[in-house]
Structure 1
């Protein structure tokens, strides 16, 4: 069975509405993706670090309870699990505040064996930060050498606007490792002051990676692939309860589609048909929509994608 391996940060998300806390859940962009994949039966593994604290212990239990292998989640020798405050507005979109313990020192990764056509997902500031970069690159290099499909979610938020110049070499290297790059309007407005997906693809992405997915909230998703394929996909109209996990679950659905259709890395490199892309994107949009219907950051337990 093909594995999906996620590498990223773990945080405790505390969600607020009207400035009052609604609840708390383990989160992090790749974390949310991997939990949803575990819930739908994928062979999912997460690589991360948590504090040697009550929250960290609960996070590891949560992963296991949701069908995710947590053997590669290590604990900091010092420091606490990071906290994220998510403030929902009237449209149930979120603004974030992040709190990190400065005592944290990222431990070296131990990571699972990777086989050809396993799928690796990574992204967010975690993937470009100097603090975690050596471990991330080491794993990406290993996964690439083993023939894995590598999926990169840019997920670069406005809170790191002042870091753009400093992290750009790492960002470009991530594009180069990736077989698929996904980013949102917000990501590219922060990085490039540019929101036209065609121009982002041609000017910033296509030299490094030929498969690019651009999401823009309720607006159609844009796909650019192999220089010639240009498709647009309508997002379902619903009244969301929370959009916190929308992008993360889009990633989960995309990866689920690759698994469901048996897409190999060589097929990706050779170029998929429009019908294959359409099916993959239908799963991505279904996962994203489903996650917005509840207060969790993942698809519900027991949910079955069509």
Structure 2
């Protein structure tokens, strides 16, 4: 059975509307993706770290209840688990404040060595560009690539990290060069490459990476670049929260690759029909989570796909 390995921070997400807290949920981009995949019946393992505290224990229980393998989550005792405050604007987009308790401390994450050919490694966000973490991350990614795993990278780079761009851009480019699929938003590429559209983003990426590009522009559609360029409209909705949309989009890509039997050897030659099916699935998944505060697919929703 093919397996998905996700790599990322675990946090407790606290949602605010105005100044009022309205919800609290286990979160973190790749935790969100993992939970959706677990609910879909995909074999998935989250590679991360958590404190030995009430929040950490709560998150572990939640993962296990949702069929996510938590055996690759390392536990630390020198500080507490991380929090993320998500302040929702009128369009339900989130402005984040992160409370990272391990700032300046070495990561205790350890990487598994059982990744196999055509397994999927899904990673990104700020953890993937932390200098002290890359000493362990890069050898793992290179080993996975050598074994024939499919690597999906989502930079998920946000404006609050812009002062660090000159320092971390080489790491982002290195991650993209190792990836088989790069999924990025218009916001990502505007910040990273000063490009204003999908074509510009693809031209920038193709200078140093052969990866298939999936470019999302919120309500303005999705573009995919294989050997050809494809564009897909996005139905308009009134979201409750967009926090988990990109994470669920990533989960949909991984789910499609496994459920449709797409191996690494045929990835760059996907037919128009398969590309369309992948994107339509990803749009449906991501819009579903926009209709509530959960950042992952609901248990009722996934019944259609299992």
Asked whether the two chains share a fold, i.e. TM above 0.5, the reply is yes
Partner SS, residue 296 of structure 1: coil
Structure 1 match to 2:255: 256
Partner SS, residue 300 of structure 1: coil
| CA contact 1:249–1:291 (8 Å) conserved in 2 | yes
**Structure 1: distance between partners of 2:109 and 2:143:** 14
**How do 1:68-87 and structure 2 match up within 5 A?**
68-87=68-87
Length-normalised TM-score, structure 2: 0.95
Structure 2 match to 1:109: 110
**Structure 2: distance between partners of 1:47 and 1:210:** 23
Partner SS, residue 36 of structure 1: helix
**Structure 1: distance between partners of 2:194 and 2:208:** 19
Offset at residue 188 of structure 1 (A): 1.4
**Structure 1: distance between partners of 2:196 and 2:223:** 12
Partner SS, residue 132 of structure 1: helix
Distance 1:108 1:241, change over 3 A: closer
Partner deviation per Cα, 1:66-122 (whole Å, 9 max, x = no partner) = 110000001124111111100111111111111111364301414251111011100
Is 1:245–2:240 an aligned residue pair?
Answer: no
| CA contact 1:79–1:103 (8 Å) conserved in 2 | no
**How do 1:1-306 and structure 2 match up within 5 A?**
1-101=1-101, 102=103, 104-111=105-112, 113-205=114-206, 207-226=208-227, 229-269=228-268, 271-304=269-302, 305=304
Offset at residue 207 of structure 1 (A): 3.2
Offset at residue 138 of structure 1 (A): 2.4
| CA contact 2:84–2:97 (8 Å) conserved in 1 | yes
Partner deviation per Cα, 1:176-222 (whole Å, 9 max, x = no partner) = 11000011111112212222210111123453123101111111111
Distance 1:194 1:103, change over 3 A: closer
**Structure 1: distance between partners of 2:112 and 2:229:** 36
Length-normalised TM-score, structure 1: 0.95
Q: Which runs of at least 4 in structure 1 moved beyond 4 Å after TM superposition?
A: none
Distance 1:80 1:265, change over 3 A: same
Gaps of 5+ in 1: none
Partner deviation per Cα, 1:95-154 (whole Å, 9 max, x = no partner) = 111111136430141425111101110001111111321222122122112110000011
| CA contact 2:73–2:109 (8 Å) conserved in 1 | no
Aligned pair count reads 303
CA root-mean-square deviation:
1.4
**Structure 2: distance between partners of 1:100 and 1:20:** 22
Partner deviation per Cα, 1:159-190 (whole Å, 9 max, x = no partner) = 11011111122111101110000111111122
Name whichever of 63-72 and 100-109 sits farther off. Answer: 100-109
Offset at residue 225 of structure 1 (A): 1.3
Distance 1:51 1:280, change over 3 A: same
Name whichever of 232-241 and 120-129 sits farther off. Answer: 232-241
| CA contact 1:12–1:82 (8 Å) conserved in 2 | yes
